[in-house]
A = this chain, B = another copy of it.
Amino acid sequence: MAESGGLKVKQTCAAGLSRFISFASEYDTPKIVHVKSKKVGLVNRFVQLTVIAYIIGYVIVYKKGYQEFDDVESATTAKLKGVIYTNLTNISDSLNDIINHRIFDVADYVIPPQETDAFFVMTNMVFTPNQTQSICPEDPSMANVNCTVDSDCPKGAPVINGNGVRTGTCNVETKTCNIYAWCPVEKDVLPLPNDSILKDSKRFTVLIKNQIEFIKFGVKRRNVIDIINDKNYLRNCTYSSTSEIDRFCPIFELGTIAKYAKVDYDEISIKGGVIAINIRWDCNLDYSEKQCRPEYSFRRLDNKDVNIAKGLNFRFANYYTDNNRNSRDLVKAYGIRFLIKVTGRAGKFNIVPLFLNIGSGIGLLGIATILCDFLMVHCLRKGYYYYDRKYFIVEDVDKEFSESYQEQVTSSQLQPQNEEEHVRSRVGEYNRFRD
């Protein structure tokens, strides 16, 4: 028993092993019809060439198909520098006395003081100081009614687009209704007709610090880099796209930014606008990390020809209590909003994408075959000669299979005596196939 059992095991083992070996030493490969035909051959080679050129030239070399990629992770901070003294003696408007002779420094013109990937520089303003909650006539430019008697000013609900709620009385001088509001109401007129108060802000500088990381590759870079071995360089440089060195300087003059963005600073500073500062990190980590440096570009984002709410402005107020009166200074700030957009990706050699691209390339080569088969069979005068050699017809056997198998083989493998007949059948087959 045991013996025979042992024997069985041995046998199964042996069987399994031999089967495995024969399995491992097999190999299936399609039988190829090697056609020699100038016409088809040329087409074939041409298509193959195109595909190979596409794969190698475009996918692998141009699109770096041999690399795996990672997108950039970034953090930015912006710090402005600059002071302006406004000397607007030409302005009589008493309201603006306060800003006629005034120093504007960072704390004054950067609002809010800090943002994520953005900063705002006030370039123009409508200043309305010492407002208190009280009663005063509506701003004529706002009022949609020219009142003469109180009955023109129905007391009640707030005027959504106005500055306050009507008290029900009419102010005969201004010909506008009296309202309960922050008084005096803002006169929405720019202090200078076709100019901005702080257009000299073009001389301000901003230091942009940008830390990036390609997490997949564990590579950290920053845009504050010592191009030259001069400790003081970074303190005093300013960005210039033309200079080999200064195009890596992280300090930008606002005027320069506008220039590169093809914006007239004097014009944009009147009504405000939005300018994007793009920082592009395209890094090929197959080379030295040191090569991984930012590229700056600038462009205006808002549309200067828009017909409503042109430019960029917003209102904010400083609140305080003076002699127990709750007051505020209202500021309508016009200015330029700078958006810092950091993009980029790093590539590093990796076998997997290369493998995949080659694989898919091989797949594409199939197109050549399909095309040429079609050509060969349908377009060549002797198509059915090739068809005959490419296709090997196997009839359905479900019916006449009763006949001995061997005959089947002979009849279809080595054509028997009556060749013409066979051929005829084939040609018919071909014609059916053709149309």
Contacts and interface: CB of A to CB of B under 8 A. Distances in A.
Interface residues of A, number: 154
A319 B324 CA distance: 14
A75 to B, nearest CB: 4
B398 A382 contact: yes
A306 interface: yes
Contacts of A228: none
Interface string A5-42: 00000000000000101111111111111111110111
Given A385-B401, A398-B382, A315 B106 contact: yes
A130 to B, nearest CB: 7
A107 B331 CA distance: 9
A309 interface: yes
Given A24-B45, A366-B362, A394-B33, A414 B414 contact: yes
Interface string A396-435: 1110010001101110111100011001000001001000
A419 B423 contact: no
A54 B154 CA distance: 68
Interface stretch (A203-211, A240-248, A259-267, A286-294): A203-211
Given A25-B41, A339-B75, A321 B319 contact: no
Nearest to A321: B322
A432 B36 contact: no
A108 interface: yes
Interface stretch (A113-121, A145-153, A170-178, A189-197): A113-121
B409 A419 contact: yes
A274 B423 CA distance: 80
A364 interface: yes
A112 interface: yes
Interface in A134-190: 158-165, 180-182
A129 B324 CA distance: 11
B321 A103 contact: no
Interface in A315-362: 315-324, 326-330, 333, 337, 339, 341, 356, 358-360, 362
A400 to B, nearest CB: 11
A98 interface: yes
Contacts of A388: 409
A415 B415 contact: no
In the complex, the 9 A-B pairs of residues with the closest C-beta atoms, listed nearest first: A320-B320, A113-B316, A25-B41, A318-B319, A75-B301, A107-B317, A25-B38, A31-B31, A30-B30
B396 A222 contact: no
B389 A85 contact: no
Contacts of A224: 303, 306-309
